[in-house]
Amino acid sequence: MATLHVIDGASGASANLVVRKIGFADLKDAITKGVDDFWAMPTHVILLSVIYPVVGLLLARMSFGYDMMPILFPLAAGFALLGPFLAIGLYELSRRREEGLDTSWKHAFEVARSSSADAIFALALMLVILFVAWLAVAQALYQSLFGYGVPEAVGQFINQIFTTREGWILIIAGNAIGFLFAVLAFSISVVSFPLLLDRDVGTVVAVQTSVKAVLLNPVVMAAWALFIAVALVIGALPFFVGLAVVMPILGHASWHLYRKVVAPDDSPRPTLHQPRKGHRYAADFPAVLFPWAREDKD
């Protein structure tokens, strides 16, 4: 039953899904609202988004410290594949602000108690698999051109990439392959995570809806993808620190873009699983430490 729920979500929850065609004015409005959300919730957003520059710096340190320089760019570029999942707390804050609810940072983590949590994490696992596959392909491409040795210095690596025939093959082929991975990840996730947060539809329906949104709005979605890529490059230039601003704006804007692409309906949102609190007695210890023991008694 759990597997079925991950796939299909709540019974009938996908019946009223309508994907709309949007224009550049809608895209501009979504970005504007994303910036507005950022300014309205800067403290919460920076707290939630500090992981991006921190992870970026860790990736750089790992690459230079452990002879992994050839994979630094694939690591940094591939990290963006996980962005739609990592921004899910930002979607929730935008949703709550949209409905006039409390936007305290603690609400960003309520997705873990949502009835759609299993579907959300299943979709996140798909992105992780794509990320790992991209790293494996990038590493194999480098080794096919330069062998298994690694440069001894940054200057040697840069010279190897930009002044040799193999280096330019790596640049062209690597970017072409990375583009394919990015298109796939973007297509299955551009509206799927906000949709799962908003409605209990299951992973398959969420992915199908996201792909349908891209196919129905190819030019606008391509512009949105390009905007994301340029914004991430700009944010990553000053040692990834700019991502603490860029990522939350993109996250909030993604929520508003979802609102424009998928027509709203009156279906109930995924419910939150509230832990039941009952009387506890000393005789119950240590059984109270194990949730299944309490459920059996109930």
Contacts with 98 (C-beta within 8 Å, 6 or more apart), sequence order: 259
Tell me: pLDDT of 271 over 80.
no
- Domain extent at residue 195: 2-297
**Contact indicator for 71, 142 with CB cutoff of 8 Å:** yes
Cα 173 from Cα 178, distance rounded (Å): 8
From the CA atom positions of the chain, what is the Rg in Å? 22
Average pLDDT over residues 80-86: 84
Provide mean pLDDT across the span 171-179. 93
Q: Is the pLDDT of residue 76 over 90?
A: no
Q: Is the pLDDT of residue 286 over 60?
A: no
247: confidence class by pLDDT, cuts 50, 70, 90: confident
pLDDT digits (tens, 9 = 90+) for 182-237: 999 999 999 999 999 998 888 999 999 999 999 999 999 999 999 998 998 888 77
- How many domains in the chain? 1
Q: Is the pLDDT of residue 281 over 70?
A: no
Q: Which residue has the higher pLDDT, 16 or 223?
A: 223
Average pLDDT, stretch 143-155? Answer: 80
Looking at residue 13, its pLDDT comes to 56
pLDDT band of 289, cuts 50, 70, 90:
very low
